[in-house]
Amino acid sequence: MSSVKNVIQDSYKLMLLKGYLREAIKEAGFADVDIQKTPTGTRVGLHVTRPGIVIGRKGSGIRDLTKVLEKDFGLKSPQISVIEITRPELEPSVMCNRMAQHIARGTAFRRAVMWTMQTIMDAGAMGVQITISGKLRGERSGFEKHSKGILPRAGYHAEVVVAEDVVHVETKMGLIGIRIRIARKEKFIPEFELKAVKKESKQKTTVEEENAIEIVDESQIDTTKPRTESEEIEREEHLIKEVETFEEVEEEMK
């Protein structure tokens, strides 16, 4: 029974840690965290879209985060590595956070759903399913489910190909839940056919490697590219207004 309690306790701590990181490094595009216990301490891998924000100036962000993980979450000698996500549009957690921010800013939920689905499919996904629930249009709670492309529902492929995440966002009407499931082509292996799986190289940066970080000339930085998730959301808000919703399509067909 003690082993079961340990598993439950570890899962609960991991849930609290993910909740904290989702808010603390939101601007860095937090997606997931990997924790591995070692004889010398704890390895913590942070998957983000913008590693520079987490690392901070001369590694100050890493040092501050290390103190919080050790003091507030009881991790023994945490060794943090930052892993860059090269295609954030195929990460359910990143897209859930972006969609939640759009809804929190007042964007109509159906317009946000259509924009998110189109963005994910344009990034090369095999299929996507978005479920949104809560007080969407009135006092009564409800839910809507929208799908696009091919999305395995059960079996081996559903476990390997499909990734999903769930977030909640507070609005004036109440709490709204968002669930996004994405089927990725690169993880799909057709039956009776063997293919070599190419693992994407992931950029890692640890505290020990902070001295080896190359200083980039500011003139070489692309100023048109959003530097934070908030800037990305502001850029998308202008594009979302051009997305046609189901109501607009039905009105045109009348």
DSSP string covering 142-206, please? EEEEEEEE----SSHHHHHHEEEEEEEEE-SS-EEEEEEEEEEGGG---TT---PPPPPP--EEE
Q: Comparing C-alpha atoms, which of 47, 56, 55 is closest to residue 29?
A: 47
Asked if 83 contacts 97 with a C-beta cutoff of 8 angstroms, the reply is: no
**Which of 21-30, 92-101, 194-203 has maximum average pLDDT?**
92-101
CATH number of 88-196: 3.30.1140.32
Please give the C-alpha separations between residue 205 and each of 34, 42, 82, in angstroms, as whole numbers: 14, 16, 5
pLDDT at 180 over 90: yes
- The per-residue pLDDT for range 209-225, each reduced to its tens digit, is 443 333 333 333 444 56
pLDDT at 129: 95
3-class DSSP state for residue 29? coil
DSSP of 31-50, one letter per residue? EEEEEEEETTEEEEEEEES-
pLDDT at 46: 92
Asked whether this chain's domains 2-84 and 88-196 adopt the same fold, the reply is no
pLDDT at 234 over 50: yes
pLDDT at 224: 57
pLDDT at 190: 57
Give, in words, the CATH class of 2-84.
alpha beta
- The per-residue pLDDT for range 128-177, each reduced to its tens digit, is 999 999 988 878 888 899 999 988 888 877 888 899 999 999 888 888 99
| Mean pLDDT estimate for the chain | 79
Domain boundaries, the chain: 2-84, 88-196
Asked if 50 contacts 56 with a C-beta cutoff of 8 angstroms, the reply is: no
Query: Could you tell me whether strands 41-48 and 78-84 are parallel, antiparallel, or unpaired per DSSP bridges?
Result: parallel
- The per-residue pLDDT for range 93-131, each reduced to its tens digit, is 999 999 999 998 888 889 999 999 999 999 999 999 999
- The per-residue pLDDT for range 36-75, each reduced to its tens digit, is 888 888 899 999 988 888 888 888 889 999 999 988 888 8
